[in-house]
Amino acid sequence: MATQPTGLADWLDYQQRVHPRAIELGLERVREVWRRLGAPAPAPLVITVGGTNGKGSTVAFLEAMLAADGRRVGAYTSPHLLRYNERVRVAGTDVDDAALTDAFERIEAARLGATGDAAAAIALTYFEYGTLAALWIFAHAGLEVAVLEVGLGGRLDAVNLVDADASIVTTVDLDHQDWLGDDRDSIGREKAGIFREGRPAIVAEADPPAALLAEAGRIGADLRRVGRDYAYEVDADGAWRWRSGAAALALPPPGLSAPCQHANAAGAIAVLHALRGRLGWNPAAISRGVADARVGARLQRFGGEPELVVDVAHNPQAAGVLAQWLRRTPARGRTLAVFGALADKDVRGIVGAVARQVDRWYPAGLDRDSPRGLDAHALAGLLADVDDGHLASASADVEAALTAACVDARPGDRVLAFGSFFVAAAALQFAARR
């Protein structure tokens, strides 16, 4: 390579330029680079987490439960909110720049091969660099367990390089249709690709598509389904009970507040129950993990006037969960929604799911944040198709939209920022400054 990137920012910029496409599914290229690196196993025990929504929260529950049990855990998630380092955590701490740049240097050498000829190098996407870096760092961190979040789909996602000891699919709904298919069966089939023959395969989706179950059967996975192999019941105060066979737990309310978090925590517990022969079974650690789990921008609340709520709901299913929370947790005044989205998202479906709980919309352009981001004018047009009567003037970016919403807010009003990780990141930065 003629010019070697130096710091982390240089490496990330380079990775976004070196491959002509942001997404290219398939394991052949990334598997060959992994082989050249020595195919390092990230940990003696590996858990993969796939699904449409709930992946990050499920990783957080698993990480917290295992840490409470005294395990040294690595967690790989994406995307990040404020710093790339958030994607790779070891023992609860984001890895530093030096660890990431060292891993990237090794990956680049393996990608270029013995000749160092850039023209003959194996192409890697930004996400594939990051996945390989996480696997390399984990392999040299003395972990007991690695928890890996699947990026997109499952079968052809770079995380699926690793033969996990147990896998979970959290939910299945329409998202990334350009890559995964136009119906739940097609998407479910892709997500089932993370399952392995004879190994625990947890399905936390209450109504899974038939194709997901059929693919799990074809693979020969040890299928364990919510409502059949494990179950949970929630009390009015959020306390709840989990059971599977003779095992029963009385649990505190989850540290994450959305209504779906009981399901995510229940799925995480089902994973640990399936692995109890290797990890043991520690009800006290599970309870602590349920209560202690935290992940940013999942109905994250910031007090003050107005209250600010930040959420990463970016597809209709997630927006439906957000709407449920808004109904259960009404503001004293109005809900003012700052919303931004990427062009490949079902904007009408997202807005329609939550429209009855929003009193005024503040569209925010994301075209400055991502080539895929909708500009303010295009977004306002889509919003007007669904809820024209409650539309404020569009803003060029999230900060401007948040400022406008806060200026318009009356005592008791709530500002809700959601729709994309880019919106959530900008809202967290805004909250830190106000």
Domain ranges of the chain: 8-292, 300-433
CB 360 within 8 A of CB 334: yes
β-pairing, 414-418 vs 335-339, is: parallel
- Tell me what the pLDDT averaged over the chain comes to: 93
Question: What backbone torsions phi and psi does residue 336 show, to the nearest 5 degrees?
Answer: -105, 115
Q: How far apart are CA 6 and CA 295, in angstroms?
A: 30
Q: Where are the beta strands (DSSP E) in 252-395?
A: 300-302, 307-310, 335-339, 360-363
Tens of pLDDT, residue by residue over 163-198, are: 999 999 999 986 545 545 568 888 899 899 999 999
Q: Which CATH architecture fits 8-292?
A: 3-Layer(aba) Sandwich (3.40)
Q: How far apart are CA 318 and CA 323, in angstroms?
A: 9
Question: 249-297 pLDDT, tens per residue?
Answer: 999 999 998 889 999 999 999 999 999 999 999 999 999 999 999 999 9
Q: What is the pLDDT of residue 132?
A: 98
Q: How confident is the model at residue 1 (pLDDT cuts 50, 70, 90)?
A: very low
CATH superfamily of domain region 300-433: Mur ligase, C-terminal domain (3.90.190.20)
Per-residue pLDDT reduced to its tens digit, 298-340: 999 999 999 999 999 999 989 999 999 999 999 999 999 999 9
pLDDT tier at 20, thresholds 50, 70, 90: low
Q: What is the pLDDT of residue 337?
A: 98
